[in-house]
Structure 1
Amino acid sequence: MKNLKYIIGILLLALISFSCEEENYELGDIVAPSNIEVSYTIQGQDTSDPELEYGDGTGYVDFVVTADNAISYKINYGDGTSEVVPTGEVTKRYSLPDANTYTVIVTAIGVTGTSSTMSLDITVYSSFSDVEVVEFLAGDNAGDSKTWYWAANQAAHIGLGPVEDDYGNGEFAWPAWWNAIGPWDEEKYCMYTNEFVFTRLDEDGTMTFEQSVGPAFVPGTYAAKIGIDGDVCHDETVVTSMFGVKNVSFAPSSSKAALEGSYNDEPYRGTEFTIADDGFMGWYVGASSYDIISVTDEELIVRIIENGNDYTWYQVFTSTKPVEGVIDADYEFETLVWSDEFDTDGAPNPDNWTYDLGDGGWGNGESQTYTSDADNVIVDGGYLKITAKSDGNGGYTSARLKSQGLQSFGYARVEVSAKLPSAQGTWPAIWMLGDSFSTVGWPHCGEMDIMEQTGADKDRVLGTVHWFDDGTNANASYGESTDITNASSEFHLYTIEYTESAIKIYLDDVQYYELTNNSSLPFNDPFFIILNIAMGGTLGGTIDSGFTEDTMEIDYVRVYQ
């Protein structure tokens, strides 16, 4: 056995020796890029004309970079921005006002990561200026800083829209096309600690940006592209460009939305800002340029196109730090223009109310027959009482009051103090339809549900808006819900405010719903009020087999403008 092992060992050694002799690997020479050449053309430049010596004011410069043994190039433009340009050809727009000289640094990158660098000075004239944006974002004077926060106390502080198509409404889907999130959204809660600091460095408007408090939220749409968990927050070990002081540059907006679109019938600001070194404002989608939709001292609304041009995100920031968990309820309506206090016993005031009568399911598979009988609707002891009853034969009666043709209101705040029924299967509703209902029908007339409650869950109420979307040629709706306690034993205040800019719904003066209004939606004309209890149907669900009767009591209905 020893001899056999020895022979095998000799054969193995011979094979190894043979392999070493046959394979002769050599690492090629590492060659850094060389002979870097940079040419550029300033748009509109005419050196013989003093007014065009440094360009026509648009700030556009076409760069062409070549080098031996280079596979890509990185260009630092000298204004605080840089980018990787694989082809070596790129158009840059400088936007610092007046004629300014920039030191452009070009790095040619080789196959193995080796690089060579050259620099040149270039003077470019830009006539673009929007110093007011700098004043809004940072302050009036050199050295001023301002901190911005997510407008978490507002509904629709984050929303999704299309990149190019405005879906026929001219507003690039802000926000009728997408269902924006509500205030203090649970999934996004991790990002509401973010703080974003803009600092003005000089009187010319040079500015820096710093996200001083993390983390970064990465939506699922982008997370899937880069292979990380989505719709969650990540720290700087994952999103490495989150922190650090970064330069901010401004330029005229060039997106289709900014050039052609509008927001609440007003054109976009027309200015975009870019945060250098892959900076971003808390919401990481691989992009750093923001279209400014509108900006004031207190509010910044922007639009950012996700890397890959698949999605556009709308974002709202505020310079006043929201109080955690508190929803903004900024009332603007002070004049009481109409009310019914239900002070006179008997039938409801015929100057204010009429009735929908009959059965047929009412489009929702409901089980009740509406009447105007005193058994179903009466004013008693200072309250309007709408009572749903079993007829003892498997059927039900109830009442549906409406102010149609009697009282309707344009932009207004409507308040209803009510105590709700508690029985399973009852579907109470306080809602409004547009005056055009009789001519264009539902949902073209628009519907605003101030309060609905399902037949199964008496600890929540719903606020919803319905309309017809001409762009998709389909019914559209956006709804939110909120918890409520003692809904059937105590009076609560149900409120809606609707203006040309927004529809807001409140429970006990706390806002939990907002939809941005615009001229393409039907909520800019007068609406009338409806009060009813349905039985069963879409939201009522299964009716308690032992049901006999239940009541919704209303203390008052008030309208402010």
Structure 2
Amino acid sequence: MKLSYLLGVLFFTSLVSCSSQKGKDGWRLVWEDEFEGTAFDTATWSKIPRWHPEWAQHMSDNEACYEMRNGNLVLKGIMNPDRTKDTLAYITGGLYTKCKRAFYGGRIEVKAKLEGCTGAWPAIWLKPFEEEKYVWPTGGEIDIMERLNYDSIAYQTVHSVYTQHLGILDNPKRGTTASINPNDYNVYAVEMYPDSVVFFINDKHTLTYPRIETDKEGQFPFDRPYYLLIDMQLGGNWVGKVDTLDLPVEMQIDWVRYYQKEK
């Protein structure tokens, strides 16, 4: 077991409640980021690098894709301002907690406002903290929120060997869509239990994905630590082509909160 994993688990399990006013019935707030400073906290967050998966092919560390504004983290999809070093026409910003902060069980909430754009694909999601041990999708993936283009709905989904390789999508149902306010902030949340993953939007329950009895492989790999990704993705087979005349586009993150059940 890697030292980074042990430190991440020990760190978040040792935290105390940040504010009783922000607690929920039966839950204890153990960590939050309000994005109030002039720069994001590099002890928790790193910029997502560009790499081969479709969603990450336009990720950039260009400062033009990142801003701290009015108590919000702002992640942007923009036309590339300098193509002499980076030849891509457009670039995007995203942060993750990989190798820095793990979330094991509990409830994650993210309050975000998503601008629309043809080809916009903002996402808030979870991947295994010990990712190097698991070839996707063996460790599971939890998509707390994905939005396409100018949609007034968001997608919430789980991925695993059971859903992806075996193609079992409805036993149990692996995803849903739910209404959002497309012009304002919404709160996207997931609760992670040893026997289920439960989704919410604006505190309204949208889907429960349970562990079931089955002889099929990899139905519920979700009882493990995860890291959080928040990214302003652009383009791809699912969302379609980007209309560059719609750029720039932003996702504004007001806060991220992590709760654990009161004992």
TM over 0.5: yes
* Cα pair distance change 1:415/1:473, threshold 3 Å: closer
- Find out whether 1:464 has 2:157 as its counterpart: yes
**Helix, strand or coil at the partner of 2:238:** helix
List per-residue Cα deviations over 1:153-203 (Å, max 9, x = no partner).
xxxxxxxxxxxxxxxxxxxxxxxxxxxxxxxxxxxxxxxxxxxxxxxxxxx
**How many Å separate the matches in 1 of 2:26 and 2:190?**
11
* Cα pair distance change 1:518/1:558, threshold 3 Å: farther
1:551 shift after superposition: 0.5
**How many Å separate the matches in 1 of 2:212 and 2:257?**
25
1:445 shift after superposition: 1.1
**What amino acid maps onto 2:195 in structure 1?**
S
Alignment of 1:109-508 (within 5 A): 333-346=26-39, 348-360=40-52, 362=53, 364=54, 366=55, 368-391=57-80, 395-455=89-149, 457-469=150-162, 474=166, 478-485=174-181, 487=182, 489-508=183-202
**What amino acid maps onto 1:373 in structure 2?**
N
**How many Å separate the matches in 1 of 2:26 and 2:146?**
24
**What amino acid maps onto 2:175 in structure 1?**
G
1:558 shift after superposition: 0.3
**How many Å separate the matches in 1 of 2:192 and 2:25?**
11
Q: Any conservation in 2 of the 1:500–1:518 contact (CA below 8 Å)?
A: no
List per-residue Cα deviations over 1:390-436 (Å, max 9, x = no partner).
12777211122111111111111000000002111110000101223
Q: Any conservation in 2 of the 1:367–1:395 contact (CA below 8 Å)?
A: no
1:539 shift after superposition: 2.9
Please identify the structure whose Cα radius of gyration is greater. 1
* Cα pair distance change 1:476/1:444, threshold 3 Å: farther
**How many Å separate the matches in 1 of 2:98 and 2:187?**
22
Between the two structures, name the one with larger relative contact order (CA 8 Å, sep ≥ 6).
Answer: 2
**How many Å separate the matches in 1 of 2:259 and 2:101?**
13
**How many Å separate the matches in 1 of 2:152 and 2:95?**
25
Where does structure 2 lack aligned partners over 5 or more consecutive residues? 1-23, 214-218
**Helix, strand or coil at the partner of 2:133:** helix
Q: Any conservation in 2 of the 1:368–1:398 contact (CA below 8 Å)?
A: no
**Residue matched to 1:153:** none
Q: Any conservation in 2 of the 1:425–1:536 contact (CA below 8 Å)?
A: yes
Where does structure 1 lack aligned partners over 5 or more consecutive residues? 1-330
**What amino acid maps onto 2:237 in structure 1?**
T
Alignment of 1:45-60 (within 5 A): none
**How many Å separate the matches in 2 of 1:529 and 1:434?**
9
1:475 shift after superposition: 5.7
**Helix, strand or coil at the partner of 2:253:** strand
List per-residue Cα deviations over 1:208-262 (Å, max 9, x = no partner).
xxxxxxxxxxxxxxxxxxxxxxxxxxxxxxxxxxxxxxxxxxxxxxxxxxxxxxx
**How many Å separate the matches in 2 of 1:545 and 1:350?**
31
Q: Any conservation in 2 of the 1:421–1:428 contact (CA below 8 Å)?
A: no
* Cα pair distance change 1:546/1:359, threshold 3 Å: farther
Percent identity between matched residues is 25
**How many Å separate the matches in 1 of 2:122 and 2:61?**
17
**How many Å separate the matches in 2 of 1:476 and 1:554?**
33
**How many Å separate the matches in 2 of 1:558 and 1:367?**
25
**How many Å separate the matches in 2 of 1:448 and 1:509?**
18
**What amino acid maps onto 1:416 in structure 2?**
V
**Residue matched to 1:537:** 236
Q: Any conservation in 2 of the 1:333–1:413 contact (CA below 8 Å)?
A: no
TM-score (norm 2): 0.78
**What amino acid maps onto 1:340 in structure 2?**
D
**Residue matched to 1:522:** 221
Q: Any conservation in 2 of the 1:341–1:555 contact (CA below 8 Å)?
A: yes
1:512 shift after superposition: 1.1
Aligned residues: 223
**Residue matched to 2:9:** none
Q: Any conservation in 1 of the 2:110–2:256 contact (CA below 8 Å)?
A: yes
TM-score (norm 1): 0.38
Q: Any conservation in 1 of the 2:35–2:68 contact (CA below 8 Å)?
A: yes
**How many Å separate the matches in 1 of 2:76 and 2:244?**
17
**Helix, strand or coil at the partner of 1:407:** coil
**What amino acid maps onto 1:532 in structure 2?**
D
* Cα pair distance change 1:377/1:542, threshold 3 Å: same
